Structure 1
Amino acid sequence: MDVVLEETGPGRAVVGDPVLEIRNLSVDYGYDEDPVHVLREVSLTLHRGEVLGLAGESGCGKSTLAYAATRLLPPPGLVTGGEVMFTDRDGSRRDLLALSDTELRASRWQDTAIVFQGAMNSLNPVFRVGRQIADGIRAHRPGMGRAESLEKAAELLELVGISTDRLRSYPHQLSGGMRQRVMIAMALALDPQVLIMDEPTTALDVVMQRQIVEQIADLRERLGFSVVFITHDVSLLIEIADRIAIMYAGEIVEDAAAQDVYRRPRHPYARGLLHSFPPLRGPKRELGGIPGSPPDLAALPSGCAFRARCPYVLDACAAVRPELVTPAVAGDDPRRTVACLRHEPERVAAAGFEPVPVPPELAAR
């Protein structure tokens, strides 16, 4: 990962350098004395040119993380701590959570852009799609004329595989897949460095899902932006993501290269997710699943939030909260992290419990 994006020199951006760093981000819902802690000190790093997949069950905090990091979190959501550091192409850094309203408006769509889950709800139903794209461009490029902005909108539609004669179409005249492509075109209008996609293939058939995923991969290769791809479908991420972070109950529980997560999951929850869909290739296997339901975020249990559903639960799991650490498995990528006491024998022993060896299926190589 050492391909230079620009000419080499001080402060130049290099593929593989961090472009977006979320540090200890915490989010509460509610303004009273007993708010719900939806995100608890979440840390995540997106590298330049990378596709980072963010997966987990509904309600685990994936979308909340994206909206909080981009300051789009609606009330009663409240960011209670943390930083979101963005590194520009020239090497300058700034905390998105500390920007003024004017600075934030200039940064949106130019530094970071987001494709929302419901394209029909994101597009104005009474304006043609060409005008909506052009208006967004002119809002950030006030010197650009109407004709020039519409020409740029036409180029963007062609970029995502839509004929330019669709500029005059209203959102309801487009299929679900075409509306999602319009949203991708709009997000790419100002050449952002980070593209956040919040379940962009939801409600699309599998053929259209495949087309959208392939198009995102192609555009990433051509334009060089970084992607945060949010979905509950881990099988989809394995095909497109370079790295996958698994969320559960408002925390990251595993963060590793996509192929490592797929072939050698270290967290019981990640393993359960992977066994809930058929393998992409190879011999058939019995599908499993994860018993029970995610915990109530307003009344999280002590220790590990996953322990009530975990087949590998220890006595220590009720008393000790796991931390993200490098798994205690020889030969693992040192950048890989997992939050499971099965991989923290020292903390288990320090808490007065008997350490237990890592099960073979959580230590496969």
Structure 2
Amino acid sequence: MSNDPVLEIRNLNVDYGLGDQAVQAVRDVNLTLHKGEVLGLAGESGSGKSTLAYGLTRLLAPPGVISGGEVIYHPEKGEPYDVLALSDANLRKFRWAETAIVFQGAMNSLNPVHKISTQLNDVLQAHEPKMSQHSRNVRCREMLKLVGISADRMEAYPHQLSGGMRQRVMIGMALILQPQVVIMDEPTTALDVVMQRQILGQLIELRERLGFSVIFITHDLSLLVEFSNRIAIMYGGRIVEEAPAATLYRDSLHPYSNGLLGSFPALRGPRRELTGIPGSPPDLKGMPSGCSFHPRCPKAFDPCSEHIPVLGRPATPDGGTRTVACHLYPDVKPVGAPAAASSAASSAGER
């Protein structure tokens, strides 16, 4: 894994609707994905994880709108540029070739009336039109073999494959153009535990072999602890904590992170009681004042209901590698968008 960034999300804001009736689904998100890294994004349903993914790739369906921020992509060759400023033509080139998405629910993502070979070929035809049919077929067979599927299943329809095989096809489709970034939106939700581990283990093996970076979105924090390099926790549309996976598991700072970690059983060590998190996630149409987690927080005190905590680096020995947004840590050093954003954005406008 490199320290060089491949994708920088800077002060990203996403709304559903316009004007006074707009629902603020993602607020002031700052994240950096490094080359060769697996960045986990965790939180309960409705916390803004998928909205963030669709916003940074400009796949939001109406009435979703990006109301602010930048998404700076660092290509292998050339200058960084803002994905949100790309023209429609350049955006079509960017998708799949530079950044690919494995959507939640492979059966709904694959076209049920077309064979697997047709759907894989469509990606190559759209982005590499000069490639011959024979070369496309060879690439498709190689990619299926890479994700553990026999090449003779190319002529199968999606309903003729198991859930795990369909998910592998989606991963193969995402990797067929060798993108730098792969976004996985809860790709193993409908699969059993054994199949989850097989697919995720294979994904990590492919990442080590091909060198791409991954944003892995899930509500299952136990998966991220095992397979991610870093984990960011979302609640109410904001990042509330970010840290290396091992650090977060061993010493999480935010009470919400503690609640998520207490919601799944430990794989090793003594048995412990599952605590969970009381209450329900906030209604985005009527967010609580101050910290959005304070109505459910066991450690809430006076400032929590009055002021939104700032995401920053805590005054702890490992504060240089993590961030947290909580009034329990008042001495944080705020983390904002880098000053170089304007130069990258200006280069995007020229594309």
- CA offset digits 1:155-179 (Å, max 9, x no partner): 0000000000000000010011100
Could you say which residue in structure 1 is the equivalent of 2:320?
A: 334
Inter-partner Cα distance in structure 1 for 2:208 and 2:12: 30
**2:73 counterpart of 1:78:** no
| The one of 83, 100, 117 aligned to 1:96 | 83
**2:258 counterpart of 1:277:** no
Q: Given that residues 260 and 277 in structure 2 are in contact (C-alpha distance below 8 angstroms), is that contact kept between their aligned partners in structure 1?
A: yes
Inter-partner Cα distance in structure 2 for 1:133 and 1:304: 45
**2:170 counterpart of 1:175:** no
- Could you tell me how far 1:284 is from its partner in structure 2? 1.2
Inter-partner Cα distance in structure 2 for 1:116 and 1:320: 36
- Could you tell me how far 1:92 is from its partner in structure 2? 1.6
**2:288 counterpart of 1:301:** yes
Runs of 4+ aligned residues of structure 1 deviating over 6 Å after TM superposition are: none
Inter-partner Cα distance in structure 1 for 2:331 and 2:142: 56
Q: Given that residues 315 and 332 in structure 2 are in contact (C-alpha distance below 8 angstroms), is that contact kept between their aligned partners in structure 1?
A: no
After superposition, the CA RMSD in angstroms is: 1.2
Q: Given that residues 23 and 41 in structure 1 are in contact (C-alpha distance below 8 angstroms), is that contact kept between their aligned partners in structure 2?
A: yes
Inter-partner Cα distance in structure 1 for 2:103 and 2:29: 21
| The one of 243, 246, 252 aligned to 1:265 | 252
| The one of 93, 101, 104 aligned to 1:117 | 104
Q: Given that residues 115 and 156 in structure 2 are in contact (C-alpha distance below 8 angstroms), is that contact kept between their aligned partners in structure 1?
A: yes
Q: Given that residues 197 and 229 in structure 1 are in contact (C-alpha distance below 8 angstroms), is that contact kept between their aligned partners in structure 2?
A: yes
Q: Given that residues 21 and 44 in structure 1 are in contact (C-alpha distance below 8 angstroms), is that contact kept between their aligned partners in structure 2?
A: yes
Inter-partner Cα distance in structure 1 for 2:35 and 2:133: 33
- CA offset digits 1:101-154 (Å, max 9, x no partner): 000011111110000001111111111001110111111001112222111111
**2:222 counterpart of 1:235:** yes
User: Under a length normalisation based on structure 2, what TM-score does the superposition of the two structures give?
Assistant: 0.93
Inter-partner Cα distance in structure 2 for 1:226 and 1:253: 22
Matched residue pairs, number?
333
- Could you tell me how far 1:346 is from its partner in structure 2? 8.3
**2:213 counterpart of 1:220:** no
Could you say which residue in structure 2 is the equivalent of 1:201?
A: 188
Could you say which residue in structure 1 is the equivalent of 2:337?
A: none
Q: Given that residues 291 and 309 in structure 2 are in contact (C-alpha distance below 8 angstroms), is that contact kept between their aligned partners in structure 1?
A: yes
Q: Given that residues 312 and 332 in structure 2 are in contact (C-alpha distance below 8 angstroms), is that contact kept between their aligned partners in structure 1?
A: no
- Could you tell me how far 1:33 is from its partner in structure 2? 2.9
Structure 2 unmatched ranges of 5 or more? 334-351
- CA offset digits 1:194-215 (Å, max 9, x no partner): 0000001011001100101101
Could you say which residue in structure 2 is the equivalent of 1:47?
A: 34
Inter-partner Cα distance in structure 2 for 1:323 and 1:61: 18
Structure 1 pair 99–328 and aligned structure 2 pair: CA distance change class (3 A): same
Correspondences of 1:319-330 after superposition (within 5 Å): 319-329=306-316
- Could you tell me how far 1:327 is from its partner in structure 2? 1.8
- Could you tell me how far 1:318 is from its partner in structure 2? 1.0
- Could you tell me how far 1:325 is from its partner in structure 2? 1.2
- Could you tell me how far 1:91 is from its partner in structure 2? 5.1
- Could you tell me how far 1:293 is from its partner in structure 2? 0.5
Could you say which residue in structure 2 is the equivalent of 1:352?
A: none
Inter-partner Cα distance in structure 2 for 1:320 and 1:249: 15
Could you say which residue in structure 1 is the equivalent of 2:343?
A: none
**Residue identity in the other structure for 1:322:** P
Could you say which residue in structure 1 is the equivalent of 2:49?
A: 62
- Could you tell me how far 1:328 is from its partner in structure 2? 3.0
Q: Given that residues 314 and 331 in structure 2 are in contact (C-alpha distance below 8 angstroms), is that contact kept between their aligned partners in structure 1?
A: no
Structure 1 unmatched ranges of 5 or more? 2-14, 348-365
**2:10 counterpart of 1:27:** no
**2:104 counterpart of 1:141:** no
**Residue identity in the other structure for 1:229:** F
Give the structure, 1 or 2, with the largest relative contact order (CA under 8 Å, sep 6 or more).
2
Name which of structure 1's ranges 28-37 and 169-178 shifts more when overlaid on structure 2. 28-37
- Could you tell me how far 1:323 is from its partner in structure 2? 0.9
Inter-partner Cα distance in structure 2 for 1:100 and 1:153: 29
